[in-house]
Amino acid sequence: MKVIVAEKPSVARSIAECLGITGKYEGYLEGNGYQVTWAFGHLVGLKNPDEYTPDWKPWRMETLPIIPDTFQLKANDDDGAKKQLAVIKSLFSKATEVVCATDAGREGELIFRYIVDWTGYEHLPVKRLWISSLTDEAIRTGFNQLKDGGTFYNLYQAAKCRSQADWLVGLNATRAYSIKFGQQGKGALSIGRVQTPVLAMITQRDSDIAGFAPSNFWEVVALYNDIQFQYLDGRFSTKLEADNLLVKLGGHNLTITDVAGKSKKIMPPLLYDLTDLQKDLNVRYGFTAEQTLLLVQSLYEKKSVTYPRTDSRYLSGDMKADMPKILESLCGQFAAQIALLPSGAMPDNRYFNDDKVTDHHAIIPTATPPKSLNADEAIAYQAISLRFISAFYPPCIKQVTTVKAVINGENFKTAGTIIESQGWQVLYKDDAKDKDAKILPPFVKGETGAHQPKITQGKTTPPKSFTEATLLAMMESAGKTCEEGVFKDAMKDSGLGTPATRASTIETLIKRGFIVRQKNNVVSSPSGRELIKLIPSESLKSAALTGEWEHKLKLIEQGTYSPDVFIQEIVDFTQKIKTDVEGINHSPIIHNSLGDCPLCNGKVIDTPKTFGCSNWKTGCQFTIWKVISKKKISTAVAKELLAKGETKMIKGFIGKNDKEFQAGLKMVNGKVLFSF
């Protein structure tokens, strides 16, 4: 019996349906010589420290770094996961061959191999199903072209190294920083190979904004024939310089010195990879990265689009023949857009590049029309479909005219744009127009005439806060922050994290309280900024570490770098983390402080019985009791007292005579007193 292992129940059902497998049993389907079973994502993972030895359960600095001699696997604690693993192990015990049908990529390979290793059936022959969509045609083709499982062993080695490296660095760094700088009762200070550099980027941007000092500037323009000409040498930092130029221009005609027009061809955009789709839907609809991932994953499982977790915007060359069929399948929903295409239209060759298709090609619609999509799924599906249809359209042709002029020896310029042919941009005609575009009158070289010069004043503006779209773009291109060329090159294709994990990285930082969403912006919290300040090792908070790792993981995939050497380098790095932390002198990081201590300028924090100073260990005794004269003091009242030094009148205090009274609270020399 051949056992097929899919990553999810929905994928298992799609495979079974395609292969005519109808027998339903607890945890698997059976028929036609196959048993189809499934995981729920990661059923098996690396053991927790205390599962190696009880000595590693307490968080103590003296037990760090925690480095197992040999990594061991464990079943997820979830009862459903354990039950499903028992089913899989039972099926393996009678199998003649196993087909790996998890997602075709590094993490999918890890999910499958960890299950096989945990069950103890590594000796079974393995075949690999490698597909990019769940349509019946793709599944049938994939089973007709099953690959030998050994072909993907290096991919598994890279995935395993990534998993173990994240365990070593994340666990040891999180424990070390939490022990030394954590606030009791407020959770761990989560540190990670990807999340910490991302947090550093956000805090740096916020710091740049906070420290930005706006400055005035002045520009000189000349209005001629109802068109504004800009001074070619740019802005002035003082008004006096602008005034001097204005005086020089007065009484002199403007003369056209050059009129140059050229046709500009704007090609249709490349197809979507996951990150590009996440950025686009964030800008257009305010969807979070996590929201977009879930939507496109749902579309994939409904067989409406191809595999979503891709970092490629290209198609393989052998897909050219499939293009007309997919386009035809879209005619029902996008008839008006497709009707404008010339007969026999095809995407040009720049969309097909085998060298730029790694695990999966770009996200495109399948030839299976969608059914029962909710409103948000329909938005995502339309975006993917229109991007695909645009590849069949001709380029947009713009006529760009640049006009140069001179006034008493000073050079000016203006430019205008005329759209000669909308081409693919007709699909996006509702998008915001180019605000700088303007239509020019027919200027002629040598013409001259009077003009109206004037000075305009402006202010420099700070950089903008990250949105999820711009943050994703920075994560994708984080290689720009790497100085070493070999690592910079490695990160061109990977950046910080992978397309599949970037959304969860953002969500993790929000969950940990290190960043917050403010409308569509993503900004750092006080605790996030404080954490980044105290990390001394640039490798822990820069893209360089990820660049080095990604470079070596790619070499491991190619079979040209030793996994053992890679892990030993990670162990060496992990041992240095403890040394770095022990050398830092810093008070605990305060999560969500109520305000500043009036005695020592420390942070006032919420404790079980008081709102007290975080520097109590060093002797500060400032306290606001949570119950005063039998009246519970709220957080809001404590914040008001700290901010203003006194509160409004408060009802409900009970005196020694058991009579109720009202009073305000005030601070006098660091003591909380009544104010009547």
Strand pairing category for 2-6 and 34-38: parallel
CA of 551: how far to CAs of 104, 157, 489, 493, 521, in Å? 21, 14, 8, 10, 31
Q: For residue 36, give the nearest of 54, 24, 46 by alpha carbon.
A: 24
- Which residues share a beta bridge with 101? 6
CA 335 to chain CA mean position, Å: 34
Look up residue 142 and give its two tokens.
């994939």
Give the whole-angstrom CA distance, residue 118 versus residue 44. 7
Contact assessment for residue 236 and residue 242, using Cβ atoms and an 8 Å cutoff:
yes
Contact assessment for residue 499 and residue 311, using Cβ atoms and an 8 Å cutoff:
yes
Which of 300, 307, 314, 561 is catalytic? The answer is 307
- Which residues share a beta bridge with 635? none
Mark whether 307 is an active-site residue: yes
Give the whole-angstrom CA distance, residue 321 versus residue 270. 18
Look up residue 347 and give its two tokens.
């995407």
CA of 301: how far to CAs of 8, 12, 97, 133, 613, in Å? 10, 10, 26, 9, 53
How does DSSP assign 128-168, residue by residue? E---S--SHHHHHHHHHTPEEGGGGHHHHHHHHHHHHHHHH
Give the whole-angstrom CA distance, residue 238 versus residue 542. 39
Calculated CA dihedral for residues 279, 284, 290, 291, nearest 10 degrees: -150
- Which residues share a beta bridge with 228? 223
SS3 631: strand
Q: For residue 5, give the nearest of 96, 81, 115, 90 by alpha carbon.
A: 115
SS3 419: strand
Contact assessment for residue 181 and residue 532, using Cβ atoms and an 8 Å cutoff:
no
Give the whole-angstrom CA distance, residue 96 versus residue 383. 44
Residue 439, CB-side half-sphere exposure with 13 Å CA sphere: 3
Amino acid at 645: G
Calculated CA dihedral for residues 320, 325, 326, 332, nearest 10 degrees: 150
Q: For residue 197, give the nearest of 531, 488, 499 by alpha carbon.
A: 531
Calculated CA dihedral for residues 321, 326, 331, 332, nearest 10 degrees: 150
Given strand 610-613, what is the order of strands in its sheet? 595-596, 603-606, 610-613, 623-625
Whose tokens are 């640039």? That residue is 538
Give the whole-angstrom CA distance, residue 220 versus residue 454. 6
Give the whole-angstrom CA distance, residue 131 versus residue 286. 31
Give the whole-angstrom CA distance, residue 209 versus residue 595. 23
Catalytic residues: 307
